[in-house]
């Protein structure tokens, strides 16, 4: 975490992927392992750990900080479910959706990606999903390397904002 906070992306990724294992276990224990919301909660918590990483005080144990976030997200989820249950209109509407009900609450990033401008999407998928370095993506798209980095950063910001709005 310390190295991640200092800007070491690899250490940050390592931390998040280790956390995802613990989180999956934690949410599965609370909700039952077959619950469809487990993976959503894991993703939401990882997102929160990432976005709120500054609020971790180094004098405080990291695990209790992360656990408090996971717990908060779990409570948040319970609250949303209760809201959904007490709104019959919404429940009825979900019957007519082909997918599993609360599609609006899903981290449907493929769809979100689709809403990005073409060029940003291309660069983002080259760099993140295709595994190109920023330099390679820059050569491919004819942009400078720093422009690629800026573009990736902006796309991420936009995605994160959409995900939040949907929740």
Partner 1 sequence: MKTDELIALLATDAKKPATPFPVMRRLGPAALAGAIIALAALFVWLGIRDMGEAVASSSYWMKTLYTAALAVSGFLIAERLSRPGANATRGAFALVAVVAIMLGIGITQLLSTPPEAMRDALLGSTWDRCPWRIVALAIPGLALSLLAMRRLAPTRPTLAGAGAGLFVGGIAATVYGLHCAETSAAFTLIWYTGGVALSTALGAIAGWRVLRW
Q: Of 82 and 92, which CB lies nearer to partner 1 in the complex structure? A: 82
Q: Of 139 and 150, which CB lies nearer to partner 1 in the complex structure? A: 150
Q: How far is the CB of 22 from partner 1 (least distance, A)?
A: 13
Q: Of 21 and 139, which CB lies nearer to partner 1 in the complex structure? A: 21
Residue 128 CA from chain centroid, whole number: 14
C-alpha distances (whole Å) from 66 to each of 33, 49, 55, 72, 148 are 20, 7, 11, 10, 32
Q: How far is the CB of 159 from partner 1 (least distance, A)?
A: 7
Q: How far is the CB of 7 from partner 1 (least distance, A)?
A: 4
Q: Of 28 and 65, which CB lies nearer to partner 1 in the complex structure? A: 65
Q: Of 93 and 109, which CB lies nearer to partner 1 in the complex structure? A: 109
Q: How far is the CB of 95 from partner 1 (least distance, A)?
A: 25
Residues in the site for partner 1, rule: CB under 8 A?
Answer: 4-10, 12-13, 16-17, 20, 39, 42-43, 46-48, 50, 52-57, 60-61, 64-69, 71-72, 76, 107-110, 127-129, 152-153, 156-157, 159
Question: If you write DSSP's letter for every residue of the chain in order, what string do you get?
Answer: -HHHHTT-HHHHHHHHHHHHHHHHHHHHHHH-TT-THHHHHHHHHHHHHHHTGGG--TTS-HHHHHHHHHHHHHHHHHHHHHHHHT-HHHHHHHHTSSS-S-GGGS--HHHHHHTS-HHHHHHHIIIIIS---HHHHHHHHT--HHHHHHHHHHHHHHHHHHHHHH-
> What tokens appear for 143 in the block?
């942009």
Q: How far is the CB of 119 from partner 1 (least distance, A)?
A: 17
């Amino acid at each position: 975490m310390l190295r991640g906070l200092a800007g070491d992306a690899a250490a940050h990724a390592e931390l998040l992927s280790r956390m995802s294992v613990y989180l999956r276990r934690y949410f599965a224990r609370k909700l039952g392992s077959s619950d469809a919301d487990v993976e959503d909660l894991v993703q939401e918590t990882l997102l929160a750990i990432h976005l709120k990483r500054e609020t971790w005080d180094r004098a405080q144990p990291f695990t209790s900080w992360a656990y408090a976030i996971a717990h908060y997200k779990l409570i948040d989820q319970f609250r949303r479910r209760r809201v959904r249950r007490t709104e019959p209109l919404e429940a009825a509407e979900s019957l007519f959706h082909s997918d599993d009900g609360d599609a609006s609450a899903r981290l449907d990033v493929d769809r979100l990606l689709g809403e990005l401008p073409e060029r940003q999407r291309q660069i983002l998928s080259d760099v993140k999903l295709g595994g190109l370095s920023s330099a390679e993506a820059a050569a491919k798209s004819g942009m400078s390397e720093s422009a690629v980095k800026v573009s990736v950063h902006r796309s991420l910001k936009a995605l994160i904002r959409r995900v939040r709005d949907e929740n």
